[in-house]
Amino acid sequence: SNIRAVHSYEKYNDLDTINAWSANIAAQNPSLVTRSQLGTSYEGRPIYLLKVGRSGSNKKAVFIDCGFHAREWVSPAFCQWFVKESVENYGSDAVLTNLLNNLDFYVLPVLNVDGYVFTWSSNRMWRKTRSVNSGSTCFGTDPNRNFNAGWCTVGASSRACDDTYCGSTPESERETKALANFIRSNLSSIKGYLTVHSYSQMLLFPYSYSYALARDHTELNTVAKNAVDQLFTLHRTRYTYGPGGTTIYLAAGGSDDWAYDVGVKYSFTFELRDTGRYGFLLPESQIKATSEETMLAVKSISNHILNN
Ligand SMILES: O=C(NO)N[C@@H](Cc1ccccc1)C(=O)O
Ligand SMILES: [Zn+2]
């Protein structure tokens, strides 16, 4: 039939649906969206990346990833929402249009594709990747402990069966290696790194691997404050913000700390809704409000990046 399948942005979508969506939204919006493959997961699934923005030469870029942790379903929902908003409101939303004309957004809807599939098929509460750990019957590494940033020193486990297992080496996972390689290869353009998790309602920035203040602490703190203030205006959702170590907990090997230390100055971790009532099982009825308020924070941060 000639009826175009309509994507449901207010539902949680399985990986096949998300992959079909990313192919379609790129095909239907060629002047704004291009899809590439970042890499392949442990179980052999493609990890797709969307580049969103008007084509132009030597534009600054902001990298946004979702779906690090498999059970955090509202995270991939937000990445889908971001792309939808970009293609639907380009030309009508002045702020978004200006951003898309002057910045490129790399949007990674699901990094941990194997884990995400596993939460749909087997264990809704799975967090890690699904790689086999030699010498253990336990699967997976915590991708947010697997980066070369104070790796496995604090707030991480060296036991394969733990949910915060740091892996056998930094970037041991195909998924984290692919992401790190992409950022390393595009350091001249990537000025911002936003990694989207749930839940807690927090906006975190380096460092989580120690209590040391980042050299850009004052600026990052101001950017975070402005972002959470913008977020609050829509539905009065309250976020806390600050360095990860003091705001949530000490944890080494995180992607935000790694990105910051390789030179991506504006590096933030979002912890979306809620604060524990539903936790990872946030009802689909809250996807719209969560995504809309998070858009305000992302636009605030992106404008700061564009103007600095
Ligand atoms: O996973 C979640 N929430 O989903 N929280 C992050 C907190 C964090 C953020 C940045 C660096 C290290 C740790 C975690 O990986 O534990
Ligand atoms: Zn997480």
- Report which secondary-structure segment, H or E, holds 105: strand 103-108
Residue-level pLDDT at 5 = 75
Query: Phi, psi (5° rounding) for residue 74?
Result: -70, -20
By the 8 A CB rule, do 45 and 113 touch?
A: yes
Residue-level pLDDT at 290 = 99
Ligand 1 site-directed mutation target among 164, 220, 248, 275, most atoms within 8 Å of CB: 248
Residue-level pLDDT at 3 = 63
Residue-level pLDDT at 1 = 45
Residue that the structure tokens 């892996």 belong to: 167
Q: Whose CA is nearest to atom 10 of ligand 1?
A: 254
Out of 173, 271, 284, 293, the active site residue is 271
- Helix axes of 94-102 and 287-306: crossing angle, nearest 10 degrees: 50
By the 8 A CB rule, do 294 and 197 touch?
A: no
197 CA to centre of ligand 1 in angstroms: 7
- 36 beta partners: 49
Residues 6+ apart with CB under 8 A from 106: 49, 50, 51, 52, 61, 62, 63, 64, 182, 186, 190
- 0.90 surpassed by complex ipTM: yes
Q: Read off the pLDDT of residues 88-133 as tens digits, 9 standing for 90 and up.
A: 999 999 999 999 999 999 999 999 999 999 999 999 999 999 999 9
195 CA to centre of ligand 2 in angstroms: 9
Nearest atom within ligand 1 for CA of residue 72: 4
By the 8 A CB rule, do 266 and 192 touch?
A: yes
Q: Whose CA is nearest to atom 11 of ligand 1?
A: 254
Question: What residues in the chain have per-residue pLDDT under 70?
Answer: 1-4
- 219 in catalytic set: no
Residue-level pLDDT at 300 = 98
Ligand 1 site-directed mutation target among 144, 145, 202, 278, most atoms within 8 Å of CB: 144
Who lines ligand 1 at CB under 6 A?
A: 69, 72, 144, 197-198, 204, 208, 244, 248, 251, 254, 256-257, 269, 271
Quick count: other Cβ atoms within 10 Å of Cβ 279? 15
140 CA to centre of ligand 2 in angstroms: 14
What does pTM read for this prediction?
A: 0.98
Residue-level pLDDT at 276 = 98
Residue-level pLDDT at 2 = 59
Residue 266 corresponds to which tokens in the numbers above? 């504006």
